[in-house]
């Protein structure tokens, strides 16, 4: 009669436990949504705020990749994310036109501000003209009085910054006073604080960090060029069949629904509103009409038993 070795029996039992446990763990897993997004939606805490509402509504696990807009678009173009939440319209349109995406709709906005040392050697405090502010920063930098700290990472923020430099007629990249971090918004602001330099940031990340950065202050705001709209892009499921296109669509519907738009507007840091819902009314901030997309998604909302924002009339 064959005798069974005790260690072998124990190993067999443990293997069976792992197989059975793994089966139940896998079947109990919630479907995961991967959002490729810009750093500001993460640094501010917006996605952390929205996650429990979305997860509960759709029995899902909302996750995200913390990237600049350029990197987010690159990741999505490889099919390594399910949906995009970014803020660079020129590159968003190029993504759609290349066949990588099928729908793009603006869901919210905030704005950029220029921050810098409290002593303000460039003398820009109180300006509402970003181009003039950059010209003064450049002049002060040439005199050796200050530095400008750029993300230099191809993000939407970096793109906007370079647009303002171009408007100012200045090519800063070869200048000794121009520093590129190659990092996200939070680290870049902290470096500006250490260097006693200027930088441009989305308002939300500044509000989130300003209490710990005692040497910086908000100096320039409320220039129209500093408006910062955010869009969701549905990635092409035909081109990328492995993405979770069903959950991606639900995310967009959630964000443009009455509930989602109210949640975006109610998100605050220290009683300050960070993002402003804008679905269906982009013309109010000077953006081109998105009527066709709005009508499409309003119809989808109704089909899915969700309520469009109250200010949108339903025909």
**DSSP characters over 121-189:** TT--TT---HHHHHHHHHHHHHTTS--EEE--SS-HHHHHHHHHHHHTT---TT-TTEEE--S-HHHHH
User: CA-based angle 218:224:227, to the nearest 5?
Assistant: 70
Q: Are 229 and 287 contacting, i.e. CB atoms less than 8 angstroms apart?
A: yes
Task: Say if residue 116 is in the same domain as residue 216.
Answer: yes
Q: Are 82 and 34 contacting, i.e. CB atoms less than 8 angstroms apart?
A: yes
Task: Say if residue 122 is in the same domain as residue 106.
Answer: no
Identify the domain boundary among 226, 249, 271.
226
Task: Encode burial over 277-313: b for 16+ CB neighbours within 10 A, e otherwise.
Answer: bbbbbbeeeeeeebeebbeebbebbeeeebebbeebe
Tens digit of each residue's pLDDT, the chain (315 residues): 444 555 445 444 444 554 444 444 444 589 999 999 998 899 899 999 999 999 999 999 999 998 888 899 999 999 999 999 999 889 999 999 999 999 999 999 999 999 999 999 999 999 999 999 999 999 999 999 999 999 999 888 999 999 999 999 999 999 999 999 999 999 999 999 999 999 999 999 999 999 999 899 999 999 999 999 999 999 999 999 999 999 999 999 999 999 999 999 999 999 999 999 999 999 999 999 999 999 999 999 999 999 999 988 776
Q: What is the pLDDT of residue 178?
A: 98
d(CA 167, CA 139): 15
At 63, list the tokens.
């996750």
Task: Say if residue 217 is in the same domain as residue 238.
Answer: no
Nearest C-alpha neighbor of 165 from the set 230, 174, 98: 174
Total domains in the fold of the chain: 2
Task: Say if residue 167 is in the same domain as residue 219.
Answer: yes
Task: Say if residue 125 is in the same domain as residue 195.
Answer: yes
Q: What is the pLDDT of residue 22?
A: 46
d(CA 62, CA 26): 17
Residue 270 lies in a domain: yes
Q: What is the pLDDT of residue 15?
A: 42
Q: Treating both helix axes as pointing N-terminal to C-terminal, what angle do 130-142 and 156-167 enclose, rounded to 10 degrees? A: 80
Task: Say if residue 141 is in the same domain as residue 105.
Answer: no
Task: Say if residue 182 is in the same domain as residue 275.
Answer: no
Q: Are 165 and 134 contacting, i.e. CB atoms less than 8 angstroms apart?
A: yes
Q: What is the pLDDT of residue 29?
A: 87
Nearest C-alpha neighbor of 242 from the set 7, 78, 112: 78
User: Tokens 């089966």, residue?
Assistant: 23
Identify the domain boundary among 207, 226, 245.
226
Looking at residue 107, the DSSP 8-state letter turns out to be E
Identify the domain boundary among 226, 250, 278.
226
Residue 142 lies in a domain: yes
Residue 311 lies in a domain: no
Task: Say if residue 191 is in the same domain as residue 122.
Answer: yes
Query: Counting beta carbons within 10 angstroms of the beta carbon of residue 151, is it exposed (0 to 12), middle (13 to 18) or buried (19 or more)?
Result: buried
Nearest C-alpha neighbor of 34 from the set 57, 13, 65, 73: 65
Q: The CATH number of the domain where 213 resides is what? A: 3.40.190.10
Q: Strand 272-273 to strand 268-269: parallel, antiparallel, or no bridges (unpaired)?
A: antiparallel
C-alpha distances out from residue 57 to 10, 26, 61, 139, Å: 43, 21, 11, 53
Q: Domain span at residue 62?
A: 29-110+228-303
Residue 268 lies in a domain: yes
Q: Are 69 and 37 contacting, i.e. CB atoms less than 8 angstroms apart?
A: no
11: left (phi over 0), alpha (psi -120 to 50) or beta: alpha
Residue 18 lies in a domain: no
Task: Say if residue 134 is in the same domain as residue 281.
Answer: no
């Amino acid at each position: 009669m064959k005798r069974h070795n005790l260690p072998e029996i124990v190993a067999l039992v443990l293997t069976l436990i792992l197989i059975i446990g793994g089966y139940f763990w896998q079947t109990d897993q919630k479907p995961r949504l991967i959002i490729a997004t810009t750093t500001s939606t993460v640094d501010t805490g917006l996605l952390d705020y929205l996650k429990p509402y979305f997860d509960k509504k759709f029995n899902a696990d909302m996750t995200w990749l913390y990237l600049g807009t350029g990197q987010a678009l690159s990741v999505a173009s490889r099919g390594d994310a399910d949906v995009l939440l970014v803020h660079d319209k020129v590159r968003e349109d190029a993504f759609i036109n290349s066949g990588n995406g099928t729908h793009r709709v603006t869901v919210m906005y905030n704005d950029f501000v220029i921050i810098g040392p409290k002593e303000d050697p460039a003398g820009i405090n109180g300006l509402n003209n970003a181009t003039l502010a950059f010209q003064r920063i450049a002049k002060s930098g040439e005199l050796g009085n200050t530095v400008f700290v750029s993300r230099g990472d191809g993000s939407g923020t970096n793109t906007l910054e370079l647009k303002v430099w171009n408007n100012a007629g200045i090519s800063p990249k070869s200048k000794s006073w121009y520093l590129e971090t190659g990092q996200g918004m939070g680290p870049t602001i902290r470096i500006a604080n250490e260097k006693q330099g200027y930088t441009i940031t989305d308002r939300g990340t500044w509000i989130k960090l300003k209490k710990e950065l005692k040497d910086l202050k908000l100096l320039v705001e409320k220039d129209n060029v500093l408006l910062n709209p955010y869009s969701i892009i549905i990635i092409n499921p035909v081109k990328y069949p492995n993405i979770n296109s069903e959950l991606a669509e639900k995310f967009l519907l959630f964000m443009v629904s009455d509930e989602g738009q109210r949640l975006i507007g109610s998100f605050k840091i220290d009683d300050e509103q960070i993002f402003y819902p804008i679905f269906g009314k982009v013309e109010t901030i000077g953006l081109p009409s998105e009527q066709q997309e709005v009508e499409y998604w309003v119809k989808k909302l109704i089909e899915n038993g969700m309520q469009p924002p109250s200010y949108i009339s339903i025909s």
